[in-house]
Structure 1
């Protein structure tokens, strides 16, 4: 009898294969007291395991083929850097020596303390970095417990399998991808999890957040995985197999046909030009984005320069990093200023007070920068200097009122005057824009648009703040709904406010790169989409097949519907225009 399960589809595609269950997270970690004479040997045992774990990651890094998207290698680089971070080694050795406990228990204490810090972070994307800590420590733990295992993506007959696990580390995903794994199904995770991001980059179907998947699915049974809808069908009948094999063939033809769009402009059937931009984090991503047809960079995050270090990055260090990325981008690059919060220590020993009860609503992003103007000044000077190497825009995150924007703009102008007096080169006209990710900013968009040079809608936070849910929280992420009427009205209001003021409005949240919402966003009036480079051709195809005028007329009618279900039905009809 078939079993129908639903999780969160995070990477499109259809897989039909047998199940291979991986008991990745079932670690039974003992704790016991050491004799004083054994403490030194236990410290060495931990250091040996740590060294072996780092060597394993380096081996995985060396096996990544040339030309692989930069974000894939970046996951492994992050874990290697974390291995070198003394906050893991020193804290664990201290626990072994002071508490006289075994290395496994000491590392567990270190891991739990670090994870608690990441879980307090306000930015959803950065909060998922807790997974990095989890994966790095788990790799060392497995070596200490002698439970390190080699994963295999092939079944007994040598055919690709669907790997079912509680979670899968980036290193394991890369190794399994090289063995041509059919799909991933995990019990935990969401759209921002490592499994989701890597599966999308590698083009592997994946469903995450499917609770009890390892209990409900049997080893070697045939399953169908639909990475778009999030459905997993176990023990399918011939009718289901026939339907999904046909869907699989259509998807393969569709992907193959996207290559033809690489040199084509993103212009709709009725002649509306659409700008497709990329969200990137590394200089090598700029090359991948350009190859995919990106017309510039709509979001470059700067937080990673500040994290996993004891001292703040200097102006010169930041300038060199920004100059490299700006030089690598041929179009305009929008750089977001620091989006960290008061719950994070960004230098050696300095804290901004006790951890807030709710960091997402606390001192973060532009609020922190205005309270710590020297922190902001150093970054802005570096950004302005880097603007001499290309076309830079500066974007201010989490703006909630006009006063914040004007204060930040005044500090940027002050930095310009300093650089001018010092004779340091910078572009004379660097646009300053606001990231619209707080409902208050969206509602006040007409007022903000009179001062900002551009808007960029951050849908990830805008949806969370509007609906009062944390989409990284597995208990409530089912409430994350981009189609909620309130969200749609805020997006349309922001776009119309920008158009009335004559400033461009982009969208850099995940919604912009999700093909399910492309026609909807075109209907709402969006013309600038910024997304992961891998999604550009997919979105471009929808754009060139769309009639924007018809979509906008249909959307006007849909938004007048009072019943939410009727609104959804009208939105669904947009895909038929």
Structure 2
């Protein structure tokens, strides 16, 4: 019988294939006693499982950095390697095996439940969400101990792919599927920024998450359609439905092939307004994707991924080599490199790790940098040295106070003075800009405009802080609304203030890469968009169809609206 389930669309496209149920190994764990003479063997089983999973994760991290998947995934894998090395998990499981004389699987699950309960008591949603990583690490260990890691079926002969259906998927699981004939992902839990969503988008695989009980409602090998654009999963479709979705999928593929023709077309509106389309990257390996879509430069290089998931921080030379590689690869185009934005969900390891009651509102981004001036100065020296090899722009994240700008600029001057004394070449006129990510910044732009060379709006955090919504929390994700009137007023006001004072403004959050908002931004006056390379051509298509002279007055009317429903309707009509 055909039935339809609705979830959250997190990776666009249509997939038709057969269900492959990923085992929820934690449900299969039995409890049994181990004889004293076999305890050492049981401990050895645990050690072997830990070594096996460590090897798998290290291999998957290497796969993630091969250029085909989003490098942010590497940070997720590093986090799970940290969990695997945490004595609160493995050492405590060893103790349980010895004291309770129980099997390794049971000991791991018991300790997992202790840790998960501790995470649940944490008020901060970023840290609370990490309970999922504990569960995923233990599930990997249990699968090894039970002897069924869950290999995927071979490529099918009927032309259909494989749809992976799971309660949840870790980034390691998802990367491991890359070289198989995977057509789509479907999970019971998750949101737009969950591991599954991020990896699926990076691999251009359709995905729907948050379907709650789909794993219990489908069977292995059952035919299923995944519509990652509409957030729909159709189970056991009949021939008519399959044919309809095959046609729709062909239309989408044709659209994609047409988009490739726009690669070398200048992004110019119908009335002659030129627009710059820049990319967001996490490292040198992402430059190839930027070049493939003829991006106008890099609008956001997230340097924190050099710092995460390691016990020793990168020194000046390592950072210099990473920054130089990107600048040399794009010698004639601007490359905006953001100083490290650590804290909240991007915590450092070892001596630099810290516990906070509410990290999202704590010592993160520029606050962390200024609290660690030696570390910050090392990065600034590396950036300035790299500036000799291209068109570098330095960007400071999460500014809210004038003294944060002044202290950052003073440290940049100190770095310059040191390099001059050492007779090291660098660009004396490197532009320095700031990110508008908190309402306080958007409402007090004067202090930024007087001190900085450019601004970039980080819509992800701006929306989160304006609406007091954690976009990774499934319970409130439906309230995360980019078109809330307050959010649009802050974005529009920032763009217009930059235009009045001749200060370039870009948008580098997820909104910039969503073609549904392109004409809205153009009407606001935005001329610099920065996004994941995969979204450039879709946004360019919208720009080529737009008439700014016609859009501007309509958008100004939208900015005066204070009802979300009316705003949404008006934005949808902009493209018509």
Same fold (TM over 0.5): yes
User: 2 CA distance for matches of 1:535 and 1:184?
Assistant: 20
**Does the CA-based 8 Å contact 1:121-1:360 persist in structure 2?**
no
| Unmatched 5+ stretches in structure 1 | none
From the superposition, tell whether residues 412 and 73 of structure 1 become closer, same or farther in structure 2 (CA, over 3 Å).
closer
Q: Quick check: 215-224 or 489-498, which moved more?
A: 215-224
From the superposition, tell whether residues 345 and 4 of structure 1 become closer, same or farther in structure 2 (CA, over 3 Å).
closer
Task: Find out whether 1:282 has 2:301 as its counterpart.
Answer: no
Where does 1:361-372 land on structure 2 (aligned, <5 Å)? 361-372=361-372
**Does the CA-based 8 Å contact 1:286-1:325 persist in structure 2?**
yes
**Does the CA-based 8 Å contact 2:168-2:190 persist in structure 1?**
yes
Equivalent residue number for residue 139 of structure 2: 138
TM-fit CA distance, 1:562:
4.3
Equivalent residue number for residue 374 of structure 1: 374
TM-score normalised to structure 1 length: 0.87
Task: Find out whether 1:69 has 2:67 as its counterpart.
Answer: yes
Task: Find out whether 1:311 has 2:309 as its counterpart.
Answer: no
Where does 1:152-551 land on structure 2 (aligned, <5 Å)? 152=153, 159-174=160-175, 176-217=177-218, 219=220, 221-235=222-236, 244-330=245-331, 331-341=333-343, 346=348, 348-349=350-351, 352=354, 355-551=355-551
**Does the CA-based 8 Å contact 2:485-2:561 persist in structure 1?**
no
**Does the CA-based 8 Å contact 1:327-1:389 persist in structure 2?**
yes
User: 2 CA distance for matches of 1:238 and 1:504?
Assistant: 54
Question: What are the superposed Cα offsets for residues 370-409 of structure 1, whole Å, 9 maximum, x if unpaired?
Answer: 2222222222222222222222111111111222212211
Q: Secondary structure at the match of 2:15?
A: strand
Task: Find out whether 1:569 has 2:569 as its counterpart.
Answer: yes
Equivalent residue number for residue 94 of structure 1: 91
**Does the CA-based 8 Å contact 2:309-2:349 persist in structure 1?**
no
TM-score normalised to structure 2 length: 0.87
From the superposition, tell whether residues 309 and 222 of structure 1 become closer, same or farther in structure 2 (CA, over 3 Å).
closer
Q: Quick check: 209-218 or 510-519, which moved more?
A: 209-218
User: 2 CA distance for matches of 1:351 and 1:54?
Assistant: 22
From the superposition, tell whether residues 453 and 30 of structure 1 become closer, same or farther in structure 2 (CA, over 3 Å).
farther
Question: What are the superposed Cα offsets for residues 171-224 of structure 1, whole Å, 9 maximum, x if unpaired?
Answer: 543554544333211122222223222222222211112222223445555443
From the superposition, tell whether residues 38 and 52 of structure 1 become closer, same or farther in structure 2 (CA, over 3 Å).
same
| Unmatched 5+ stretches in structure 2 | none
User: 1 CA distance for matches of 2:500 and 2:63?
Assistant: 52
From the superposition, tell whether residues 530 and 351 of structure 1 become closer, same or farther in structure 2 (CA, over 3 Å).
closer
TM-fit CA distance, 1:466:
0.8
**Does the CA-based 8 Å contact 2:26-2:139 persist in structure 1?**
no
Alignment RMSD, CA only?
3.5
User: 2 CA distance for matches of 1:142 and 1:540?
Assistant: 45
User: 2 CA distance for matches of 1:320 and 1:118?
Assistant: 41
From the superposition, tell whether residues 222 and 380 of structure 1 become closer, same or farther in structure 2 (CA, over 3 Å).
same
User: 2 CA distance for matches of 1:418 and 1:127?
Assistant: 42
User: 1 CA distance for matches of 2:125 and 2:453?
Assistant: 24
**Does the CA-based 8 Å contact 2:323-2:383 persist in structure 1?**
yes
User: 2 CA distance for matches of 1:62 and 1:50?
Assistant: 18
Q: Secondary structure at the match of 2:5?
A: strand
Question: What are the superposed Cα offsets for residues 324-380 of structure 1, whole Å, 9 maximum, x if unpaired?
Answer: 33333332211111212289874644555xx33221111211112222222222222
TM-fit CA distance, 1:31:
6.5
Q: Quick check: 507-516 or 556-565, which moved more?
A: 556-565
**Does the CA-based 8 Å contact 1:121-1:359 persist in structure 2?**
no
From the superposition, tell whether residues 165 and 381 of structure 1 become closer, same or farther in structure 2 (CA, over 3 Å).
same
From the superposition, tell whether residues 11 and 316 of structure 1 become closer, same or farther in structure 2 (CA, over 3 Å).
same
Q: Secondary structure at the match of 1:248?
A: helix
Equivalent residue number for residue 11 of structure 1: 11
Q: Secondary structure at the match of 1:184?
A: strand
Q: Secondary structure at the match of 1:182?
A: strand
Q: Quick check: 131-140 or 402-411, which moved more?
A: 131-140
TM-fit CA distance, 1:132:
6.1
